[in-house]
Copies of this chain bind each other. A is one copy, B any other.
């Protein structure tokens, strides 16, 4: 089992140690606000599933929007291109909750990674499977080979209690006919996905199919080669809220962040990464997480550019 990047991770771990001003944790729900913003972990998964890391790389945390990538992949695998009639794949150019573009574009969200878009993808997966969040959890358990992965029910409840904005988005799209699951059901499914807890190790391994051009850990195919590239492309242009351009500029890898402080990233054909640190910048991305990935591509030269 090769651990090609271990020395690089160790160097990054040391550098990040000294990083001042790591931002603030998300504060819209108590469960997230209580986390120490200075915590840090980082893991790399090789193509063969070997995983290793530095810092708290085996510590579970709230995955939040990171799971949007997996839900997208699961739906795309099932319904293919017809998904794109219901959600776009262009950057939003606005803060991640904005209703403005949604109104100008008649209820079709710009991409699957803004909240509105993720609600649409959840709606579609739920129509096809009857259990969107359950399918997602099964997939993550299998791919990470960790049957202990689960929803944090307190977080899900807390999200629901503070869920007026997502309820507004869902009803708004329903008014355009772009959501058909009853809104309370849809929100339950959506918030459960956000509330899955996993570690850097779990997520780095589970993301492997995007570095293997669509092949799951057991060698079966989830996505076509084209679809895997397409998911990576959407991550590159839309994966980090209104900072996708900056992320591409600094890191140069397809990536997806969550307000829990995690970021997953893909080096196509080579490896996958997950970094976690709960302190966020003002655009919702982990300060230490972006810095660590920036260092990774600078040291290894593995940016796609």
Interface, chain A (partner B; CB < 8 A): 88-94, 98-101, 103, 110-111, 164-165, 167-172, 174-175, 183, 226, 228-230, 232-234, 236-238, 242-246, 248-249, 252, 254, 268, 298, 303-305
Oligomeric state, in copies: 4
Q: Do B89 and A249 touch (CB < 8 A)?
A: yes
Interface centre among A175, A238, A246 (most CB of B within 10 A): A175
- Smallest Cβ distance from A254 to chain B, in angstroms? 6
Q: Do A90 and B164 touch (CB < 8 A)?
A: no
Contacts of A226 in B (CB 8 A): 298
Q: Do B103 and A93 touch (CB < 8 A)?
A: no
Please name the residue on chain B nearest to A228 by beta carbon.
B305
A233-B245, A233-B252, A252-B233 known; A103 and B111 CB under 8 Å?
Answer: no
- Smallest Cβ distance from A245 to chain B, in angstroms? 4
Selected from B165, B171, B249, the residue in CB contact (under 8 A) with A165 is B171
- Smallest Cβ distance from A207 to chain B, in angstroms? 14
Contacts of A90 in B (CB 8 A): 91, 93, 242-246
Please name the residue on chain B nearest to A102 by beta carbon.
B99
Contacts of A232 in B (CB 8 A): 252, 305
Contacts of A246 in B (CB 8 A): 89-90
CA distance A246 to B242 in the complex (A): 17
For the complex of A and B, 8 pairs with smallest distance between CB atoms? A93-B93, A91-B91, A168-B172, A164-B175, A232-B305, A304-B304, A90-B245, A168-B171
A89-B245, A91-B245 known; A229 and B303 CB under 8 Å?
Answer: yes
SS class of chain A's interface: helix, strand, loop or mixed? Answer: helix
Contacts of A168 in B (CB 8 A): 167-172, 175
Contacts of A304 in B (CB 8 A): 268, 304-305
CA distance A234 to B91 in the complex (A): 13
- Smallest Cβ distance from A284 to chain B, in angstroms? 14
Contacts of A165 in B (CB 8 A): 171-172, 175
Given A93-B110, A164-B174, A228-B305, 6 additional A-B pairs, CB 8 A: A90-B246, A91-B245, A99-B172, A168-B169, A230-B249, A230-B305
- Smallest Cβ distance from A285 to chain B, in angstroms? 13
Q: Do A234 and B254 touch (CB < 8 A)?
A: no
Q: Do A236 and B305 touch (CB < 8 A)?
A: yes
Contacts of A303 in B (CB 8 A): 229, 233
